[in-house]
Structure 1
């Protein structure tokens, strides 16, 4: 029987102290996510809070990043409007990768077999040239391979090999490398 009152944060490291966490939430919710905030300022704010951000990165408005210090983004990557990077654990987005509008990258989960519903978190990697399309979800512990595509609305719960398309109905098929 599940006992949610027994849940604790034991073993989970947020990576920064409460003051830094609070400051990030204040900045994220007042400036970072705002439509009027320039993309250059968004990348600068992420860097200031410990993210590793490459050159030419485009981050649109309404993007949510739980912990910037657990985020790495390669050169010329795009993160679309309303994407949610729920990075309880590290998220790595490769060079020229695209995370489209309202996509969710969720590194957190729970052990449904444990009565205390303890965390079962794991990092996510989106490799170079990969595309996580609009409203797609990538779950904890998954790697999206080089130039792979997670189709719009799809849920990805296991690794996706390079040059593979995963559709919303779970179909997988080969794709050609971009020219």
Structure 2
């Protein structure tokens, strides 16, 4: 992608689409124009999307204000997923480099969130994580590894706390 095209895409996603003037339905349509698949999802203002064509948000899902989707690899949210304000989904990291540059080569890995899951406020989901259906991730948690379905995970790093009925 050319430099100018990348700039225009970033302006589209992070200035035009995220502006509070747009109602939720219009915002979902504008995101679709930019490549995000979010049919039937509610997405509030202030949500940043990087790499929009690699974001799929299932019907009935809700993304609260100020969330970030850094989609160097796929990010898939199932149906009826709730995402709290300020949550961040990161699909890229770095290998640990040598003495002169500790941030080495970029590593990309997808994120998957199962249907009915609830991602709390300010949760950070790191590359390669799968969150099972019906899982709850407590506010402020950092998810570094897979979370089983229908369970509660909390903390930094997020740890299994209990199964949910």
TM-score by length of 2: 0.89
Partner SS state of residue 95, structure 2: coil
Alignment partner, residue 160 of structure 1: 147
Q: 2:152·2:164 contact (CA, 8 Å) conserved in 1?
A: no
Higher strand share: 2
Tell me how far 1:19 sits from its aligned partner. 4.6
**Are 1:51 and 2:39 counterparts?**
no
Deviation digits for residues 81-133 of structure 1, max 9, x if unmatched?
00111111110011000111001110010001566700111010111011110
**Are 1:70 and 2:57 counterparts?**
no
Partner SS state of residue 46, structure 2: coil
Aligned length: 161
TM-score by length of 1: 0.83
| Residues in 1 aligned to 2:104 and 2:147: alpha-carbon distance in whole angstroms | 27
* Runs of at least 5 residues in structure 2 that lack an aligned partner in the other structure: none
* Runs of at least 5 residues in structure 1 that lack an aligned partner in the other structure: 1-15
| Residues in 1 aligned to 2:5 and 2:80: alpha-carbon distance in whole angstroms | 30
Quote the RMSD (CA, aligned, Å). 1.7
| Residues in 2 aligned to 1:17 and 1:73: alpha-carbon distance in whole angstroms | 27
Deviation digits for residues 50-81 of structure 1, max 9, x if unmatched?
222222x1000110010111111110101110
Tell me how far 1:175 sits from its aligned partner. 3.6
Deviates more, 1:34-43 or 1:61-70: 34-43
Alignment partner, residue 127 of structure 1: 114
Alignment partner, residue 6 of structure 2: 21
